[in-house]
Structure 1
Amino acid sequence: MAGSSFGKAFRISTFGESHGKAVGVIVDGVRPLLELSEEDIQKELNRRKPGQSEVGTPRAESDIVHIYSGVFEGKTTGTPIMMILYNQDTRPQDYNDIHKLFRPGHADYTYLKKYRIRDWRGSGRASGRETAGRVAAGAIAKKLLAERKVKITAYTLKAAGVECKKLDFSVIERNPLRACDMEAAELMLERIREAKDKKDSVGGIVECRITGVDPGLGEPVFDKLDAELAHAMLSIGAVKGIEFGAGFKAADMFGSEHNDAMDKDGFVTNNAGGILGGISTGEEIVFRVVVKPTSSISRPQNTVDLEGNEVNIVTEGRHDACICPRIVPVVEAMAAIVLEDHYKRQEALWA
């Protein structure tokens, strides 16, 4: 399928469907002799896998990764790395009653129009389960970036209309929302329970902060660092928008407010979010993505069938009430893939 690969010097290609036999990824561009094990990958996949809390889907997938190529005696060989996660808890029968209906908010209609065939089990290729391959690839990129002292941290900034007031990295992995404010996380959870009781779902905002990136990373004009980060984030199915630094608040600012002045110590402010002219400044890279409410909800909605007849639909099955906490590791993974790709391009420039 065209569009299933991403990156240039560090390139990934994901494969598989939600209720098929497996999902996975092929990663090309990893240097030889990097120490790499399935445990390195698994710790990131465990953050994304389903069934972690009442916020997410109860689907019981262990998401155990298997490395089939590109690693020998615990070290990368420089050849493509293939990783597979076998689907274990598939229940395509949950969709038998609605396989001829277009689910609101899903890609059913558009996939059928493009390919004239669609996998109606879950969401097929359009399922959020596809992101497991991204996280596996991102784990490798993260390990390479750690050698460069680059640190990527994403978290839920807002969900169910509740916004974090504090920024405390220490609590992100200690609450089911992966929020950066424990008190806000408790209120988010309360609001999500209310939505679930109404057979509905909620959206939110995930923020990402990246430190340790050298200045000078990025390719003008079309491959700007922020443009490629935006491409990566908007390729995540549930993400509907992105902003960097001051973001959309810049629309209400004066140039004198928004411009990042400099002194002998560097930049005084960071309204640009760490990127100017598509190239990193060396300051912290900061961006936020908008995550839509999960499309699969079990309350009646209006739609049409394959013949165009108007019908009501109820999407049963196992779905996330809020996808933000499971998107957090996906955002980190895609950011890592972009950064490692650009580091390799930069090194090639000065080789």
Structure 2
Amino acid sequence: MYGSTFGNIFRITTWGESHGRGIGVVVDGCPAGLSLCEEDIQAFLDRRKPGQSRFTTKRKEADQVEILSGVFEGKTTGHPISLMVANTDQRSHDYSEIANCYRPGHADLNYDRKYGFRDYRGGGRSSGRETIGRVAAGAIAAKLLKELGITVSAYTYSIGPVQINRANFSKEEISNNALYMPDTQAAQAAQEYLDKCMRETNSSGGMVECEITGVPAGIGEPAFEKLDAALAKAMFSIGAVKGFEIGEGMEAARLTGLENNDAYRMDTEGQIMKKTNHSGGITGGISDGAPILFRAAFKPTPSIAAPQETVNRQGEEIEIRIKGRHDPIIVPRAVVVVESMAALVILDAMLGSMTTRLDKIKEFFDK
């Protein structure tokens, strides 16, 4: 399937369907010598697996990862790393009633138009379960970035009308609530809002924010491979994402140049630094040394039990109620997906930047 590969040097190819035998990914371009075991990857997958709280689908999947190749005696070999997660709790019969009609908010109709048929069992490749491969690969990228002193941290920024308060921000709180919000008060208000949505057999959208620290200045390209453009592409490749902004984002359109420009100063060590970070850590498509901060907006879960209008394959207008096990909100489980895709982008861009300057190439090969 065209479009299942992502990245230039650190490349991943995801495979599998929601109700097939399994989901997986092949990672190519990972250097040899990285300590890697299944537990490293499992820690990431456990953050996105279903059944974590009342706000996620009740589908029971252990999502246990298996390393099939590319690792020997606990170290990466430099060859393709193949990872697989078996599907063990499919209920394809839950989708039999929608096999002949098109679910609002889903890609069903477009799949029929493009391929002439579709896998109606959970959406096939358009299912959120496809992100398992991304997260597994992202775990490897994040571990490589950690070796370089770079950390990628994502969390829930908002759910419906409830947004975190920067004054209450606490990274420790992110893992203390089911919604992965760094604000205790916002998390409580968001849970109450979601309970209301669930009573009404409805769903909610929200936003994920991601902060990347430790990225040196000079990563990214000035034209078609801008670092912020690469991050935007990565985020929009996640099925439910409908918006992306970095730094001040949409707010920049309401600011003046004096308000939005980041002034430069000298730090105590005689290095140039930015006084503010309205750019979100990327200027002219290239990292400027400040923390990278962006947000991705997720639409509400389209699979809801409330009645909706649609059309079947015979062209008849009908009413549909979606059955099956679905998340009332995508955002909490998508936090680690955003984090993983961001790690893939940053690592790939850093590897691509290794050949930017002749003096650095000569320095490497002269050793």
Normalised-by-shorter TM-score class: over 0.9
Q: Secondary structure at the residue paired with 1:187?
A: helix
| Residue type at the aligned position of 1:311 | I
TM-score (norm 2): 0.95
Do residues 326 (structure 1) and 333 (structure 2) align?
Answer: yes
Unpaired segments of 5 or more residues in structure 1?
A: none
* Residues 167-206 of structure 1: pairs in structure 2 closer than 5 A: 167-206=169-208
| Residue type at the aligned position of 1:249 | E
| Residue type at the aligned position of 1:299 | A
Percent of aligned positions that are identical:
52
* Residues 98-247 of structure 1: pairs in structure 2 closer than 5 A: 98-165=98-165, 166-247=168-249
By how many angstroms is 1:317 displaced?
0.5
Counterpart of 2:95 in structure 1 is 95
* CA distance in 2: counterparts of 1:269 and 1:285, whole angstroms: 12
Counterpart of 1:306 in structure 2 is 313
The runs of at least 4 consecutive aligned structure 1 residues that moved more than 6 Å come to none
* CA distance in 2: counterparts of 1:178 and 1:293, whole angstroms: 17
* CA distance in 2: counterparts of 1:162 and 1:151, whole angstroms: 27
By how many angstroms is 1:348 displaced?
3.1
Q: Secondary structure at the residue paired with 1:13?
A: strand
TM-score (norm 1): 0.99
Residues 105-137 of structure 1 deviation map (CA, whole Å, 9 limit, x = unaligned): 001011111111110001110000000100000
| Residue type at the aligned position of 2:158 | K
By how many angstroms is 1:33 displaced?
1.3
Q: Secondary structure at the residue paired with 1:236?
A: coil
* CA distance in 1: counterparts of 2:27 and 2:258, whole angstroms: 44
Counterpart of 1:297 in structure 2 is 304
* CA distance in 1: counterparts of 2:45 and 2:193, whole angstroms: 27
By how many angstroms is 1:307 displaced?
1.5
By how many angstroms is 1:219 displaced?
1.5
Do residues 47 (structure 1) and 54 (structure 2) align?
Answer: no
By how many angstroms is 1:179 displaced?
0.5
Do residues 347 (structure 1) and 354 (structure 2) align?
Answer: yes
Residues 205-247 of structure 1 deviation map (CA, whole Å, 9 limit, x = unaligned): 1111111000000012100000000000000001100000001
Counterpart of 2:364 in structure 1 is none
* Residues 270-285 of structure 1: pairs in structure 2 closer than 5 A: 270-285=277-292
By how many angstroms is 1:97 displaced?
1.2
* CA distance in 1: counterparts of 2:57 and 2:23, whole angstroms: 18
* CA distance in 2: counterparts of 1:114 and 1:167, whole angstroms: 45
Counterpart of 2:254 in structure 1 is 252
By how many angstroms is 1:308 displaced?
1.2
Residues 172-194 of structure 1 deviation map (CA, whole Å, 9 limit, x = unaligned): 01101000101110110111011
CA RMSD of aligned residues (A): 0.7
- Give the aligned length: 351
Bigger radius of gyration among the two: 2
